Amino acid sequence: MGFADQRFTVNLSILFTELPLLERPAAAATAGFTAVELWWPWPGSPTPEPSELDALKAAIEAADVRLAALNLYAGRLPGPDRGALSLPGEESARFRANIDVAVGFAGSLGCTALNALYGNRVDGADPDEQDALALENLVLAARAADRIGAVLLVETLNERESPDYPLVSAAAGAAVVDKVNAATGLGNTRFLMDLYHLAVNGEDLPEVIAAHAGRTGHVQIADSPGRGAPGTGTLPLEELLDRLTEAGYEGRVGLEYKPGDRPSAQTFDWLPAAARGVR
């Protein structure tokens, strides 16, 4: 086994960002990829103009790449925000307004994974009330995702970079997944296992894989330290992905690393060409 045996997708919100958004799908295709993923591309607008949605859809279709995963509205990414669905008031309402827009866009492109970032703790807000609001909004999102045959992903971040984000362990993320599935009865809410964030948190990654591979709906990778391409840090990513395969994970692996000071297209020398072209 190894990297050549995985199904990779490239995240166009952290790679190829030296290009305008509408040029990135074609750049990914030129680099050999047949699948891409995105954070919500309009951080200031949960409900962009239909013309903006249509233009991005056309760019993805013209590049002949598949949209494999899409974040729901999460505020300013990159930036200080870490999601919106647990935030009282306007931001939570913006998340709810985004659900049908994002699900409709994803469904029009055959996308089957939607990522919902939980959101930071807010000074002066009761954490229990934030968690109740989060569960309510995640249930709405899971039911909407089910209408297009998609899974809803819940992601764990790392405490060093996201000190106000409450889901900073695999166990915490998995617990939310289980609560949403219990509330909906749909079973379509899954864990997004980001090996970079878990490594920064100091978790035992083989133990995380053994415990949570069965509830994992998507995997993302970057090396640590530095959040660069595989081989720029110390994580044994090839070995870890082999462990995931052995544990039964058959989904895609998203490349969510920073290209550094090189053009994005030059950062894939570690990846066999055959692993980029799996639909």
Residue numbers annotated as active site: 155, 256
Structure tokens at 112: 């089957």
Q: What's the 3-state SS for 249-269? A: CCCCEEECCCCCCCCHHHHCC
Q: How far apart are CA 16 and CA 27, in angstroms?
A: 7
DSSP 84-144: STTSTTHHHHHHHHHHHHHHHHHHHTT--EEEE-B----TTS-HHHHHHHHHHHHHHHHHH
Cis peptide before 272 (omega within 30 of 0): no
Q: How far apart are CA 24 and CA 223, in angstroms?
A: 22
Beta strand 113-116 pairing with 151-155: parallel
Dihedral in degrees, nearest 10, Cα atoms 145, 150, 151, 157: -80
Q: How far apart are CA 24 and CA 60, in angstroms?
A: 9
Q: How far apart are CA 49 and CA 6, in angstroms?
A: 36
Structure tokens at 275: 């692993």
